[in-house]
Amino acid sequence: MNLPAGTVTFLFTDIEGSTKLWEAQPGAMQIALARHDALLREAIENANGYVFKTIGDAFCAAFTTAAEAVVAALAAQLALTGEPWPEQTPIKVRMALHTGAVESRDKDYFGQPLNRVARLLATGYGGQTLLSATAQELVRDSLPAAASLLELGRHRLRDLGRPETIFQLLHPKLAAPFPTLRSLASLPNNLSLQPTSFVGRESELTQICTLLATARLLTLTGSGGCGKTRLALQVAADLLDGEGDGAWLV
């Protein structure tokens, strides 16, 4: 199929607690993950979606319309919920949808909306499907049968940009309610809103997070104005997970 272009709706997914499941049940997880992948691909492709990237158990899919993305998300969640998963590998998938204008090349996408949907996904729980305000506006009058949307309020995402009004996709056969979203408002921190969105520097983010896993102190150096503080703030936001004493700017 042709790669959706221009204004695109993205569906991002991942399995909650997959790292612990892999460590405890590697053999069973290999089987469970294969079934998870098949269910997700079927739901996405049946709704005219395009899987442009997979990272471990995470799926990144693009759709020409937000309505198709919601159809895919709902179908996937219903299939995952109805699957008789083994007790040792209870697969629960969180999902997020956001719509925005992006650049596409080499069968991949680039742009701020990708960061936004990834941050939105990080606030959710396994079995929960979240929509940004933009995606909600596009689908609220064309939801699948028996589906509805619940407004969860305004939340600060970890991109440190503007707060986002978040909505949850509801269906009688899906679990609800869930705990409070893992947004910055619910995690211990004093990180402030930033005037611009954080775009790029993925390699630096990865390198810094890797170093911080074993280092007690890490110093960022560079010329004045090159973005050291903004990079450090984004790392702090990314590392917030609800455990420990949080992240603080001094």
d(C-alpha 142, C-alpha 47), whole Å: 14
Q: For residue 12, give the CATH number of its domain.
A: 3.30.70.1230
Residue ending a domain, among 145, 161, 184, is 184
SS3 64: coil
| Total domains in the fold of the chain | 2
**Domain shared by 179 and 192, yes or no:** no
Do residues 213 and 164 share a domain?
no
Beta bridge partners, 97, equal 11, 131
80 to each of 139, 173, 217, how far by Cα in Å?
22, 11, 42
Residue 242: predicted pLDDT: 63
Give 118 or 227, the one with higher predicted confidence: 118
Give 36-75 pLDDT, tens digit per residue. 999 999 999 999 999 999 999 999 999 999 999 999 999 9
**Pair 40, 52 in one domain:** yes
Query: What is the rounded average pLDDT of the residues 240-250?
Result: 79
Q: What is the mean pLDDT of residues 139-153?
A: 95
Of 155, 184, 213, which residue sits at a domain end? 184
Asked whether residue 73 is assigned to any structural domain, the reply reads yes
**Which secondary-structure segment (H or E) carries 23?**
helix 18-24
**pLDDT of amino acid 1:** 64
Residues 138 and 209 in one domain: no
User: Which of 184, 209, 234 is at the close of a domain?
Assistant: 184
**Does residue 35 fall inside a structural domain?**
yes
Residue that is written with structure tokens 């997700």 in the block: 40
pLDDT for the residue 149: 97
- Assess whether 39 and 140 both reside in one domain: yes
pTM of the model: 0.84
Residue 88 counted as domain residue: yes
Q: Show the domain range for 55.
A: 7-184
- Asked, for residue 199, whether it belongs to a domain, the answer is yes
